Amino acid sequence: MPKTKLESFFFTLLTSGVMIYWMGVYNTALHTGGLTYAAFGKAAHTFPLEWLVGFLFAFFVAGHAAPWLAFHVANPHTDRQIFVILCIQTFTVCLMVPFMSLVGTLESNSLNPQLPVVWLETVAFNFIMAYPLQIFVAGPLCRWIFRALFRRRRP
């Protein structure tokens, strides 16, 4: 997909934005007892800082570590492209969920003795939602938007 640093920057900005906003809505709904219109507003309120932190982690850490891990499972030269994409997405979620769950847990609970158990619970709940969201919604949507914006001419 992305071939240049600028394209990688844009793709990471797009995917992290989509995932972080929708996971914010999900977490707000979990903490308030259900999905309401207010959850969308609360998620939008906390979104800018979370997006900045999440984007930086995704671009500088997960964006390098996920393909490295994925290429130990999938061979980009011989395996089907969808398998390679799914491997990268899987490792990206496995790296991003614990980190962003920690950010969210610290944001809502600050430092207290219950932090480790609250964080572990948050990781479990977030992974349950983040993985299918990434595989079935955010990933395909962001790849479609990216392809529409960065059309390649064939020689």
Contact (Cβ atoms closer than 8 angstroms) between residue 102 and residue 127: no
pLDDT in tens, 14-59: 999 999 999 999 999 999 999 999 999 999 999 999 999 999 999 9
Q: Please report the pLDDT score of residue 149 as a whole number.
A: 92
Q: Please report the pLDDT score of residue 112 as a whole number.
A: 86
Measured distance CA(37)–CA(34) in Å, rounded: 10
Domain residue spans of the chain: 5-149
Q: Which two tokens stand for residue 19?
A: 């995932």
Q: Please report the pLDDT score of residue 154 as a whole number.
A: 52
Measured distance CA(24)–CA(38) in Å, rounded: 12
SS3 2: coil
* Segments of the chain scoring below 70 in pLDDT: 152-155
DSSP of 40-84: HHHHHHHHHHHHHHHHHHIIIIIHHHHHHHHTTT--TTTS-HHHH
Sign of the CA dihedral running 21, 22, 25, 30? negative
Contact (Cβ atoms closer than 8 angstroms) between residue 7 and residue 150: yes
Q: Please report the pLDDT score of residue 60 as a whole number.
A: 97
